[in-house]
A and B are shown apart, each in its own frame.
Chain A
Amino acid sequence: MSDRQHCRPVNIDELREAVAWAVGEERTLEVRGNGTKAGYGRPVECSAVLETTGLAGIDMYEPDELVMSAGAGTPLAEIEAALAEKGQMLAFEPADYGAILGGEAGRQTIGGVFAANLCGPRRIRSGAARDHLLGLQTVTGHGQIIKTGGRVVKNVTGYDLCKLLTGSMGTLAVMSHVTFKVLPAPETCGTLLLTGAARATLLGALCRAMGSAFDVSSAALLPAAAAARSTVPDVSLAGGEVAALRIEGPAPSVAYRISRLEDLLHDGEIECARLDPDGSALLWREIRDAALLDRQAPLWRISTAPTAAADIAGEREDVLFDWSGGLIWATGDERGDLRARVDATGGHATLVRASPELRSAMAPFHPQAGPLRALSRRVKNSFDPGRVLNSGRMYEGI
């Protein structure tokens, strides 16, 4: 692929030209930001590369209005630094897929974050990227500049194409500009660690905590092997399975809620311990990036009902439960046994990291039933009839 053309437009008109060129010449474009997720999805061969890193820079940030707008190619790190300066954050806490996929950490672009609909452990309380995107400027596979959404949080004017395009992996349109919601960072955060009990008991405790009024923002369970890999001593030295609950907010409120949760969950079996804010920040980052699992083996990401987690994972040690069991990260499994179990209980399993051969042999995104697959194809067709943009990246022909 040494003679692939490579374009890096620096404004929306150049971007439109590039797509129009590809359509006219019947070329296919690999759409990407910094390419940190190049190994994610079905391997496809495109005849040219379209990179968004030239469309960079924060061009509007109004902390009082909780809104920011930036070129799709702006590095996430730049955005997070600007937000931190004002005590704000992206509440959906996007995972770092560069690190997850075995590349360099800290390099992804904000466009890539939305195109892949990333999120993190706070998903259960604050949503995913989809819940934070307010407006978009894109170029579709018709070579047209399309605007959707706006800069205000409440907007039902026309179809919510922001939702449709978030997570579409560049297969419908190329994002040039994103406007999104930002939120105040919590004053402090604490973590309650639960140990001493079997997996089922700990998962049950997480569900109970989530059903309480104490506004838990994250709930994870680390099997012994995963816990042992943590750089947080309280976790790695616990010697056994460790469950963790994150509580965020004003300091007195955090202290109060942690102690109420202790009262609620502490029983003969479960032992409780607390992590300070620094330890908490470190641990939740490790969980966010699935850093507590083997970094070479194939990696699955399973979204399911929390109560199905125990059945799906069985006695596997090479797993990590987040979202109170609603998210399972698992390594190994080159045969897709996990996916078969998910089919039986509901949910979906994504093969996030695997060799190109395995990603060709086994659909990385969960296969869809007939009518849904047909509908997805028609949706693809409505944006990109010439199959120019990242075609085949998600599903065959999509």
Chain B
Amino acid sequence: MSGIAMPEPDAEAIAKRDWLIDALRGIVPGEGVISTPEELRAYECDALSTYRQVPMAVVLPETVEQVSKVLALCDRERIKVVPRGAGTSLSGGALPVTDGIVLGMGKFNRILDIDWANRCVVTQPGVTNLGITRAVEHEGFYYAPDPSSQIACTIGGNIGENSGGVHCLKYGLTTNNVLGLEMVLTNGDVIRLGGRHLDAEGYDLLGLMTGSEGLLGVVTEVTVRILQKPETLRAVLMGFPSVEAGGDCVATIIARGIIPGGLEMMDHPAINAAEDFCNAGYPRDAQALLICELDGPQAEVDHLIDTVTDIARDLGATYLKVSQSEEERLGFWAGRKNAFPAVGRISPDYICMDGTIPRSELAHVLRRMQQMSAKYGLRVANVFHAGDGNLHPLILFDANKPGELDNAEAFGADILKLCVEVGGVLTGEHGVGIEKRDLMPEMFTEDDLNQQARVKCAFDPTQILNPGKMFPKLHRCAELGRMHVHKGQMPFPELERF
């Protein structure tokens, strides 16, 4: 394990291990409780695989009642619980703790209802993101948020991280596509939020839960809205001799009032890695490649494609290609969608950063990143959701070389600080987890963070859910609950009373 420290394990909890496993077996019978070291290994990390910890046990419940009983037991016994979907989190959100259990939601893998008339799907959280689209596509529908990991990642994990994808610019993130959920709190309470209707009543706890990284409750059912597939989809590939020109093209498309279905950018190293990997037909000499996808009725798409290609030409595009068939369109995406494995092939290891910046800062940030790359002596390849300013710099390194992981992490931290400096944020869609936990003070004051911690306490007063994630410092709830108002003066004593 490298740089990021996890909370000191609780010896008392570890001492209860055997007793705990028996108690868990009393709730989830048979194969549902995993406790042998070999089997536990499969759960020791998520997709931030430089961090590994073996939990005391893994529990795989099948019913809401079991989830509720497991949580209530752990709450009473002060045993930490890490909820887990498919374990594809890139921020360590599903990293186990050695003095706690993993609550794997993989057996909640059924779609419960497809409600065509109301255009929504009710599903268990362990169903994969793509599984939802697969279940409805024969009627021409799909579920819009499409993370590149969609074959594997679960809808529960998508709620945990508020995941996005290449179509978020037009269709929104997970949070804009979820209508309802059922969750279990650490005290065992089962709570339903929203449903098949819009705008849940009372506080928007549905919005709060989305992106809460498994720290507030365990999601046991999800209702998402589905959309009818657009009539036509076409994409344009555009190569530019500089990232500035590529960035200008993105800004101009948006400024003309066009919101494309997808608007992605790759830099020179990423273009070449993708070409080597899958021959997508990208121009190897371009410094920036844009993929712009337009969707809607044929007439509209054709009209907008013309506008976009005109813009690109005016800005000096050196490569321009419009998809003429569905096959070709998918070909354009192949390189982008495989960018991670492609980079994985040119480097023994890489870490993927996830900051968001105002679009206008793009060229500046890429230039500064090149300087940092020289300083740290590490290569960086960039793929990003250009339309919404979400960067994914991939920092290439070799974990077998002493110190290189630390170096890569320091480089990554510098990139994220730069994102904040130019008015952006630490993470656009991968979550804070452990990875960005210690950088939170770059964006938030202590008061800001304490208020977030108070919200956590409202849901999980014993703080057993996913501890060590998101918050750089842990405070006891009782301490946070105290009022610290330093007394104010009535500021306008002279004002009229009426």
Contacts and interface: CB of A to CB of B under 8 A. Distances in A.
A348 interface: yes
Nearest to B391: A154
B451 A140 contact: yes
21 contacts: A3-B497, A19-B488, A20-B485, A64-B254, A117-B204, A127-B172, A148-B452, A156-B161, A156-B432, A158-B443, A160-B212, A162-B207, A163-B206, A172-B203, A211-B116, A211-B119, A213-B297, A303-B199, A307-B117, A347-B197, A378-B459
Contacts of A326: 118, 197-198
Contacts of B162: 156, 160
B356 interface: yes
Nearest to A152: B356
Given A2-B497, A159-B211, A185-B257, 20 more contacts: A2-B498, A16-B488, A18-B491, A64-B359, A87-B257, A142-B483, A154-B390, A157-B432, A158-B440, A158-B443, A163-B206, A167-B199, A167-B203, A183-B259, A211-B116, A212-B228, A214-B231, A214-B297, A372-B192, A381-B481
Interface in B407-433: 423-432
Contact of B297 (A6, A253, A307, A379): A253
Nearest to B426: A157
A148 B432 contact: no
A330 to B, nearest CB: 15
Interface in B431-448: 431-432, 436, 440, 443-445, 447-448
A28 to B, nearest CB: 14
B204 A163 contact: yes
A130 B203 CA distance: 11
Interface string B19-41: 00000000000000000000000
Interface residues of A, number: 110
B76 to A, nearest CB: 17
B137 interface: no
Contacts of B231: 213-214
A150 B385 contact: no
A268 B1 CA distance: 71
Interface string B449-468: 11110111111000000000
A306 B117 contact: yes
A154 B481 CA distance: 31
Contacts of B375: none
Contacts of B175: 131, 160, 163
A301 to B, nearest CB: 10
Contacts of B207: 130, 160, 162-164, 166
B176 A127 contact: yes
Contacts of B200: 348
Interface of B: 115-119, 140, 161-162, 164, 168-169, 172-173, 175-176, 185, 189-193, 195-208, 210-212, 216, 228-231, 251, 254-255, 257-259, 296-300, 303-304, 356-360, 385, 388-390, 423-432, 436, 440, 443-445, 447-452, 454-459, 470, 481, 483-492, 495-498
B204 A164 contact: yes
A23 interface: yes
Contact of A249 (B300, B423, B444): B300
Nearest to A91: B259
Contact of A143 (B116, B426, B488): B488
Given A184-B257, A375-B185, A164 B205 contact: yes
A63 interface: yes
A348 B483 CA distance: 34
A210 interface: yes
Nearest to B358: A65
**Nearest 4 A/B pairs, CB to CB:** A163-B207, A20-B488, A184-B257, A253-B300
Interface in A199-227: 207, 210-215
Interface stretch (A94-102, A273-281, A286-294, A382-390): A382-390
Contacts of A395: 202
B146 to A, nearest CB: 14
B118 A306 contact: yes
Contacts of B198: 123-124, 128, 303, 323, 326-327
Given A207-B117, A347-B195, A375-B458, A7 B204 contact: no
A395 B485 CA distance: 25
Interface in A268-322: 303-307
Contacts of A144: 447, 450-451, 484
A381 B450 CA distance: 14
B197 A151 contact: no
Nearest to B117: A307
Contact of B423 (A130, A143, A151): A151
A90 interface: no
A154 B191 contact: no
B470 to A, nearest CB: 7
A231 interface: no
A307 B489 CA distance: 55
